[in-house]
Amino acid sequence: MNNIVAIVGRPNVGKSTFFNRLIQRREAIVDSVSGVTRDRNYGKSEWNGKEFSVIDTGGYVKGSDDIFEGEIRKQVELAIDEADAIIFVVDVEEGITPMDEEVAKLLRKVTKPILLAVNKVDNAMREKDAVEFYNLGLGEYFTIAGMNGSGTGELLDALVKVLPELPDAVEEENPLPRFCVVGRPNAGKSSFINALIGEDRFVVTDIAGTTRDAIDTKYNRFGFEFNLVDTAGIRRKAKVKEDLEFYSVMRSVRAIEHSDVCILMIDATRGFEGQDQNIFWLAEKNRKGIVILVNKWDLVEKDTMSARDYEAKIRKEIEPFTDVPILFVSALTKQRLLKALETAVEVYENRKQRVSTSKFNELMLPIIERTPPPALKGKYVKIKYCMQLPTPTPQFVFFANLPQYIKDPYKRFIENQLRQHYNFTGVPIDIYFRQK
């Protein structure tokens, strides 16, 4: 599990530029979904051998100038609740604004590590101007220039020093699969879990300081045994405005990173909205198994929308990764809940399957021979050998004479062939081409 670092601050201070710089090193290595740019408000970063997840709270506020201070206030409060450390970005050009003072006021009450980053400091003159930020009462500050990256190193050195030590995951002999239930508020996550466990264990309480970590339950019924990681019985003390996208994404980050399979619940009466997609791509990016449950199916007028049309609509939204089980359930009437569990277990098994190298070559090489990668600049690409890598999630490497000439469409062709011949339903696959 990683520490979570939240970047907060008012609009237009350069949070996103700074965020992109932090995750850049990682993004260059981790393939993002081919040809798809998603909302970039979450990523992983690494500094001095310490890996952490970064959340840019700014990416969630729609429209930039007419933002209510209330929205930013909410985001800061949520970041304070959920993150392990907070980077507060301010802008040297504009100096301290009333909104900065508001944010600082919230942050001063917090015991978590807060790092103040004064952005856009790209010359000595501005270095002097930055001194006024001592007035925010947050102690030392770091001067950075998000655009060219100067000063980021010092800031990150300080950050990794103050990140709390996380308990090491204990390697168990036969670790139980970990399934997490994620989704927007009110999609029915608690009802689903209560229906499975057969008791109202996740009582939503308003008592300040109720645990806000993902709750783990050992589940052993109907011949299944696994850990259930729940994000549902968790509410902040203050009722958060329910439609705040940031809220459920931030909530889900921990649980998703900490699980093997994500059960994404969506509300059939609302459809597969932007926020559901955010959570879906978060799980995909973390290479987790995914099962989509369309809950409250008993409430949908069946004559207007059949399950088939509904499913087709969701698959359209999640392209190119469409090999994902979609089930229509009702937590209330307990319809198909066991099927949902069986499916999650299958996806877990799919995710850890190993393909023998000899069989894999026997299957793939003739396919590649029949449909080789297109020639480029008169040069022919030859793939001689392939294998599955010994990684926790399915990754395959193909050795070629000119790997740099192989483009995304061919990669997708190979992935489709793989999915046709092996059962990787619900599991993201990585395919690499390397120099022979």
37 is in an annotated binding site: no
Known binding residue 190? Answer is yes
> Is there a binding annotation on residue 232?
yes
* Residue 269 annotated as part of some ligand binding site: no
- CA–CA distances in Å: residue 219 to residues 175, 264, 348: 13, 18, 15
E strands, 9-144, in order: 42-47, 50-56, 85-91, 114-119, 141-143
Is 233 marked within a binding site? yes
85 is in an annotated binding site: no
Calpha distance 137→62 (Å, rounded): 30
Q: Is 296 annotated as a binding residue?
A: yes
Is 185 assigned a ligand-binding role in the annotation? yes
| 234 labeled part of a ligand binding site | yes
Residue 83 labeled ligand binder: no
The answer to whether the annotation marks 13 as part of a ligand binding site is yes
Determine whether the annotation assigns residue 286 to a binding site.
no
To the question of whether residue 243 is assigned a binding role by annotation, the answer is no
> Tokens for 160?
């990794």
Is 119 marked within a binding site? yes
393 among annotated binding-site residues: no
Q: Give, in order, the Cα–Cα distances in Å from 65 to each of 56, 70, 102.
A: 18, 13, 17
Q: Is 57 annotated as a binding residue?
A: yes
Is 295 assigned to a binding site? Answer: yes
297 has binding-site annotation? yes
**Any idea which residue has 């080789």 for tokens?**
372
Q: Is 183 annotated as a binding residue?
A: yes
Q: Is 152 annotated as a binding residue?
A: no
Q: Is 221 annotated as a binding residue?
A: no
Contacts of 193 (CB under 8 A, 6+ apart): 181, 201, 202, 217, 228, 230, 232, 233
Tell me whether residue 64 is annotated as binding. Answer: no
* 186 assigned ligand-binding residue: yes
Task: Check the annotation: does 9 bind a ligand.
Answer: yes
Cα-Cα-Cα-Cα torsion 359, 363, 366, 371, nearest 10 degrees, comes to -140
Q: Report yes or no: 316 and 332 within 8 Å, Cβ to Cβ.
A: no
Q: Is 316 annotated as a binding residue?
A: no
Q: Is 298 annotated as a binding residue?
A: yes
Dihedral of CA atoms 39, 280, 71, 58 in degrees, nearest 10, equals: -30
Instruction: Report how far apart the first and last C-alpha atoms of the chain are (Å, whole number).
Output: 35
Q: Is 58 annotated as a binding residue?
A: yes
Q: Which amino acids are annotated as binding site, given as ranges?
A: 9-16, 56-60, 119-122, 183-190, 230-234, 295-298
Q: Which amino acids are annotated as binding site for GTP, given as ranges?
A: 9-16, 56-60, 119-122, 183-190, 230-234, 295-298
